[in-house]
Every structure is written in C-alpha cells, then in structure tokens.
A and B are shown apart, each in its own frame.
Chain A
Amino acid sequence: MTSIKVSEITKQYGLTVALNSLDLDISAGTVHGVIGENGAGKSTLVKILSGLTRPNRGSLSIGGREVAFDAPKDAREAGVAVAFQELSLIPDLSVADNLSMPNKPRRFGWLTSDSRSRADAREALAEWGLEGIDPLTPVRALSLAARQQVEIVGAIARDPELLILDEPTSALGQAEADWLFEQVHRLRERGSTVIFVSHRMSEVRELCDEASVLRNGRRVGVISSLTETSDDQIIEMMIGETLDRIFPDKLPAAAVTSDSKPVLSARGLASGGLRSASFDLGQSEVLGIAGLQDQGQRDLFRALFGAERVAAGVIEVDGEPVKFKTPRDAIRSGMGISLVPEDRAAEGALLEMTGRANITLPSVRRFTRLGWIDSKAETAAVTEVLDRLQISHRALYEPVEAFSGGNQQKMIMGKWILSGSKTMLLYDPTRGVDIKTKSEIYRMIRDLAAEGKSVLFHSTDIEELVNVCDRVMVCYRGRLQAPIVGDEISSGRILREMLGAADEPLPAKGTAR
C-alpha cells in the first residue's frame, strides 16, 4: 500500500508555467481522479510522475520515500507504471516485444528468448482479459482501441505500486471502457494506488474514490465525495467562473431550413470507410454530423474536400455535380469549400510559421502582384481577421506554436474566413480547446451561418451538436442516417442512433461524450 505525495512542484517551459507549486495527496490503495481543462497541467503532472521530465522545484514522495526521477527507467524501478495517452508502443515491434521491453527474457546469457517473451505476454494478456490479442501481432496491425488496451495491460501487468492512466479511454468504446474499469477495480483490490487522469466527468465519477481539480497548474479543489458534487460545481472549479451561457442562441429551425437551395449535397457518396452518404446542406445552415469513432464521418469530410478519393456517388455544389481531385479544386472560388481538419498540429496549422502566414496561406495570391506580396494589404487583412477572432496582434509576427490550442484553432478557422469560404467543414473543431474558446467557436459558427455561410459540423461532444446545429445526422457503420430535426434533436436520440440501437432502451450511464 503506497501513498503518493506531491509537494509544491513547479514546472516551467520557457515562459509558460505548466505547473505552479502543485500539491497533491493521494492515500494508499485509492483511485484518484485528476481532472482539468486542457492546459491545466494534467499532462505535465503525468510527465513528471513518469520521469519523462523533471520539475524545476518541489518534491515527490511515494510511500513516504522521497524520490527524484531522471528518466522513465527510474520511475519504473520505483514501481510507477504509466499508460500514456499518446501510447508508448513501438508500432514495428510485436505485442510481446512491446510488453517485455526493455527487459526481454534471455537465455544463454545474452540472447533474448522469443518463446519466453511470447509466453509471458500471452499469460499477461490472458490474466488481464485480453486473450483475444495474439502476442506476435505487430502493434501497427492492431486497431487503435486494441493498442490502447495493450498499452494499459503493459502498465497494469507490471504489478505497479502506482498506476497512472492518462486519458485511458480516449480511443476506447463503451465495452472496452467497461473492461478497463473492471481491471482497475481488480488492481485496487491488490493494493495498488491509481491515478486516473481524464476530462470525462462520468468516468471519474464511476471509477474514482476522490478527485483533484487542476486549473492553470494549480490544484483548485479536492472532491472527496464525488456523489455529492454536481457536474456544474466541478465545471465551475475547472474553469474558475460560471459560464452560464456556453452555447449561443439558435434561430428557430424553420427559419433556416425551409426552402433555401442546398449549397452542398451528396448522393450515395462512398469513400474509404464511408459506404453511403446522402445529405443536403442549405444556405445559412449548420448541419451536425454525429458518430462514434471510425463510422466513416472522417472520410465523408475528406471526400467532400477532395482529400479522399470518391469511390461512388456524387457531390453537388449549388445543385451542379462536381469532382474534386485535390483540395485545391474544392477551395477554389466557385466552390468555396474549406476543411478544419481533425488533427490541428499535423494537418491544421504550420506551427513554426507566423499566424499571418497561416491565415493567408490559401489566399496569399490575393495580396500578390506578379508574385510579389503586398505586405501592407496582407497585414491589414490579417489584422481584421485577428480582431474579429479576438486574437492578439502578436500573431502577425509570431509563430503559431506560441499560442494556446484554442487560439490556434481560431486562426485555422480565420484562414478560411479570409479566403471567403462559403461552406465550412468543421471536423471536431473544439477538441483540445478550453471551454472559453469553445464557447467563442460556437458563437463563430452561428455568426457564420447568420452571414449566409453553411457549416457541416462534426463533434465528439453530443451536447455541442444539440446546441449548435439546425439539424443533426448520424453516421453509423459508414451510412448517414435520416436527419434529426427540430425538437427531436436531443442527446438521448443522437446517442441512440450513434450506438445503432434506435429501438433499444438507452443504457443508463450514456451521458454526453
């Protein structure tokens, strides 16, 4: 039985203070939740506890013994095991090699033994309820959910004194999440202490004995009785103020959708995992697309933007059938389609380039004469966008990576506003964005619609769809279901369709997210 004590830990990255004199007390043998907004310091805390980074100040003690980790190896030796959100599995190696690394069993002194490592892995997988996974499969061949499960077993199977689960359910479906909870309960019975880092309130409630709330690198509250604290109270702790109006007003649905001509439509569209999608997006409409992971909605968005090959079906813009070979075709004037992609860092923003260069990337030619950029005109246009989005003018000269995730996302949307896009495809635009900016993005979406633009909006947060969209369609197993309109738009209804269980009763714990 091991208690954990974190005392006055401070961690700075350059000018950014990630953890500001953080204190944390975790009693032995409990499951302790750590919740907070993105950027609250959760991931830095995980990095410090796992030895990936060293704090500038402060101390850490495990079981009353003060420890200092120089490397993950030290943390492992001290009995800390971590299941990382970004997964620490090596895609090119087998599950068995991953589980045994870096201490693969040996024979004859020097040579490692594949058979023993395989047997060990099989045993560990079976013990923790994953007998379905073959230890010889290379990790790259596993589904994302299976990888996350292997990552978790890799940590649990070492029988740690302290287990850290960092957003462990991000790639898991409900069944796998239930599996995880079961394993955590088993582990607690064995006497391990568990830290459960999450932003999903329902999971923290279900799993944890108590929870700490982080904000701006500090602990702002400890919730010792999770059942007696309401979601609103916790949200208030997380964001530091009451946001009584996160969502903007919607226009009465009828005013928008009635007989406006569709600006973007699909008929039987198939591409990759998308088998058949038909929809009409009207002018000034916000059409929500809901769906569990991997139901084809990603391919839908990419195909509409010319980033994925269309296998069958037709895309129509203003009633005319169109074919996009590349995103250029979709962006160009006349089409005016834009995509805010899923992965901000990998597909959305040029992190090392200035906000200016990012915002004018698709439209730089407008400020160009004979190849020459008219700097003044560009600055004026970018300034206008920055003002509209309420982003500091620093973005004119400073790289995007110097801004918060929320501001980065606003700049990505800003670049399409500047390019004069008529139809915006927003793929989970609020992922990893703080609540305040989320609220701004919702308003932005409604403002754009009010200006006559059309928005296709996918989100993993059903509440967002319920509150922002005029109509919602659910993507299930590669097919787009009939639209849900008007008063029927509710999280319960959407979730039911997402689970493909429209006629079955709703499971009790299926709240948003």
Chain B
Amino acid sequence: MNTVTDERQIEGSRWAQARRRYPNLSAVVTVWLVFVAVLLFGLVAGWVTRVGQLETALLLASFAAIVALGQHLVILTGGIDLSIPFALTASAILLTDLSNGPESMIWVIPATLIFATLVGAWNGFGVAILRVSPLIMTLSTNIILLGMVLAYTQGTPQGLAPDPLVNFITGSIGPIKTPIVIAAVITVLVSLLLLRTSFGRYVFAVGNNPDVAYLSGVSVKRVLIGVYALAGLAYGLAAVMLCGWTQQASFQLGDPYLFPSIAAVVLGGTSILGGRGNYLGTVGGAAVFVAIGTVFAGTNVPESTRNIVIGVVVILAVTLIQRERVTE
C-alpha cells in the first residue's frame, strides 16, 4: 500500500531505521555501557576488589534512581524540579518526627507519602494553573519547605525511623538488598506507565508540544498536576527509604540529590526540553554517577577529584549525545 513515493527521505539502512523507531535506544545502551566501563576501569585499576563494592554501588544507585524518577517525569514535560532538596528533607523529618514506636509505621509511612505527593501537587498547581515557570515555582516551594522544616523542628530534627522500617530497608529480599529490589520494581512499573498507558502518552505529548496536546483534547493541566504529584510521591518514597537506611533525618539529607538528579536524567539521554527520554536511561545515569563515587571510594583519591570527574563525564556524555542527535 505504500503508494506515496514523493518522500525523499529514503528508507535508509536497518540500523538507521531502528534508530528512528527507538530514538532513545542508543542513549540508554550507551549509558549502561559507560556504567560497566567505569566498574571495569575500577577493577583493572585494582580499586574495585570485592563484590560488596558492586552491591554498594547498586544500592546507592537505587536511592538516586528513585529521586531521579521525579526529576525524570518533570523534565519529560519540559520542566525542571528544584524542590528536591527540601521535598526529601521535609518528608524524612516528618517521618522520623511522627514516629513513636514500631506500630506507628502503619500510618506514618502513608502520611509521609501523602505529604510528599501534596508537595508535588502544589508544584503542579503552580505550574499548570498559576502558570509560574517550573524553575521559579519549584524554587519557591523549596524555600517554603526549608522555612517550614526550620519552624517545625525549631532548628533540631528529632526522632528515629521505626525499627521495622529500618530492618526492612537495611535487610534483603532473597539474596538482594531491599532498596535494589524496590528500585527494580519501580523501574518496571514506571517504564510500563510511561510506554504502555494513555497517561504515559499524554506525558510525552505534553512535553513534546503542550499546544498540540491541548488542541487534541488532552487535559494538559491535569497531566501536569499528575506528573508533579507523582514526582512528589517518588521523593516521598525515596525519603522513607533513606530514613530506613540511615535511621535519622538531617537538614542536609536532600541537598546532595538536586544536581545529581538532573545530571542522571540528562546522562540517560532525556532531552532537557521535554518530550523525549527513557527512564531506563535515567536509572543508568544514576548508576554511572554512583559508580564513579564507588570506584574512588576504595582509594585515597579525595572527594574533590570525584566531583571533578563527574563534571567532566557529564560534559563529555552530553556532547556525545548531542553529536549523535545532530547526525541523525
């Protein structure tokens, strides 16, 4: 039936076709290859010596990947989320502060998740309804949460995460550490959500071009609020897991996740302009990030060098990804 022949874009090679069909494929593959390469480098250099180090890398990557999930969703719609630091910190402090005794876990964890989702929904409200630019909206939310945390704790966070939570998160499911299992399950769920549901379609459509989506009957506002709320839920979940892991919450809990979450999304090949990306790539980006730290952790190379290496890797990777896009 292909009777249209005036198309001057010829079909091209099989590889070219595959790349057109799955535009994010090569970025996802690349980022995971880089992850393997970093670990191999550590192995060859003799810095990675135990299987335990690999496990630690995956474990830390699990936390980072769940935080980056929120950023990933927001960036897919063409936004950016700067509320991460205190969305995490506030959720964590709420959880430890509300907890009293093991049984409190039954309501404290849902309460924390609901709080975080509401924070996200507030961001979505500002972006979708008040039409504030995502950068300003989430920045303002971060500042408000910072104030709320300080006011709520009067300067000193208190309380501990409930024991069963700690035991669960620091424990294992089968042979694998719990956070890794959670992250794996989330990855599958999120990939299905984005690629196989109508909501996922709408997210990409809104990120690609909100005007077209609107004129095609998509409720752009609802999609945006939904995305930011989901992002909030991801931060809530990450906060619960982090509390379970460290037992305590601190004011600085969230700060180290902000820029790495953006870097992970970008390393995974997601366009910062929205509408294009794959969560598997973002998980890979988070893994690369953590792997660089893990590789250096076994040595006496200072933290400073690690940061510099990460910065350079981001620049190189983004340059490569963009080269590829241009040649496409």
* Direct A–B contact present (CB less than 8 angstroms): yes
Q: Which residues of A contact B16 (CB under 8 A)?
A: 15
In the bound complex, what is the Cα–Cα distance between A257 and B2 (angstroms)?
A: 37
Which of B1, B198, B208 is in CB contact (< 8 Å) with A350? B208
- Fill in one digit per residue for B183-212: 1 if any A CB lies within 8 Å of its CB, else 0: 000000000000011110100110011011
Most B CB within 10 A of own CB, among A328, A386, A406, A434: A328
In the bound complex, what is the Cα–Cα distance between A348 and B16 (angstroms)?
A: 26
B211 touches A364 (CB 8 A): no
Determine the residue in chain A with the shortest Cβ distance to B276: A352
Question: Which applies to chain A's interface (DSSP): helix, strand, loop or mixed?
Answer: mixed
In the bound complex, what is the Cα–Cα distance between A351 and B23 (angstroms)?
A: 13
A327 touches B4 (CB 8 A): no
B20 on the interface (CB 8 Å rule)? yes
Task: Tell me whether A436 and B328 are in contact in the complex, defined as CB-CB below 8 angstroms, given that A353-B275, A357-B205 are known contacts.
Answer: no
Q: How large is the interface on B (under 10, 10 to 19, 20 to 34, 35 or more residues)?
A: 35 or more
Task: Tell me whether A16 and B8 are in contact in the complex, defined as CB-CB below 8 angstroms, given that A347-B212, A390-B1 are known contacts.
Answer: yes
B-contacting residues of A (Cβ < 8 Å)? 14-17, 39, 216, 305, 307, 326-328, 331-332, 339, 341, 346-353, 357, 360-362, 364-365, 368, 371-373, 375, 386-387, 390-394, 397-399, 402-404, 406-407, 415, 434, 436
Kindly specify which of B100-108, B213-221, B252-260, B313-321 makes contact with the partner chain: B213-221
B212 touches A349 (CB 8 A): yes
In the bound complex, what is the Cα–Cα distance between A240 and B208 (angstroms)?
A: 36
In the bound complex, what is the Cα–Cα distance between A314 and B205 (angstroms)?
A: 32
Q: Which residues of A contact B17 (CB under 8 A)?
A: 398
A163 to chain B minimum Cβ distance, whole angstroms, is 30
Q: Which residues of A contact B328 (CB under 8 A)?
A: 14
A216 touches B209 (CB 8 A): no
Determine the residue in chain B with the shortest Cβ distance to A357: B201
Q: Which residues of B contact A352 (CB under 8 A)?
A: 23, 208, 275-276
A327 touches B215 (CB 8 A): yes
A404 touches B6 (CB 8 A): yes
A-B pairs, 10 with minimum CB distance: A331-B217, A397-B21, A361-B216, A350-B208, A371-B197, A392-B2, A362-B217, A368-B198, A328-B217, A362-B216
Determine the residue in chain B with the shortest Cβ distance to A329: B217
A390 touches B198 (CB 8 A): no
Most B CB within 10 A of own CB, among A327, A347, A352, A362: A352
A154 to chain B minimum Cβ distance, whole angstroms, is 30
Which of A216, A339, A392 is in CB contact (< 8 Å) with B4? A392
A365 touches B198 (CB 8 A): yes
A349 to chain B minimum Cβ distance, whole angstroms, is 6
A372 touches B197 (CB 8 A): yes
In the bound complex, what is the Cα–Cα distance between A368 and B4 (angstroms)?
A: 31
B7 touches A407 (CB 8 A): yes
Which of A351, A362, A393, A403 is in CB contact (< 8 Å) with B7? A403
User: What are 6 contact pairs spanning A and B, CB under 8 A?
Assistant: A328-B217, A348-B212, A350-B204, A361-B212, A368-B198, A392-B4
B9 on the interface (CB 8 Å rule)? yes
B300 on the interface (CB 8 Å rule)? no
B101 to chain A minimum Cβ distance, whole angstroms, is 38
In the bound complex, what is the Cα–Cα distance between A399 and B204 (angstroms)?
A: 13
B52 on the interface (CB 8 Å rule)? no
Q: Which residues of B contact A327 (CB under 8 A)?
A: 214-217
B3 on the interface (CB 8 Å rule)? yes
B45 on the interface (CB 8 Å rule)? no
Determine the residue in chain B with the shortest Cβ distance to A328: B217
Q: Which residues of A contact B21 (CB under 8 A)?
A: 397-398
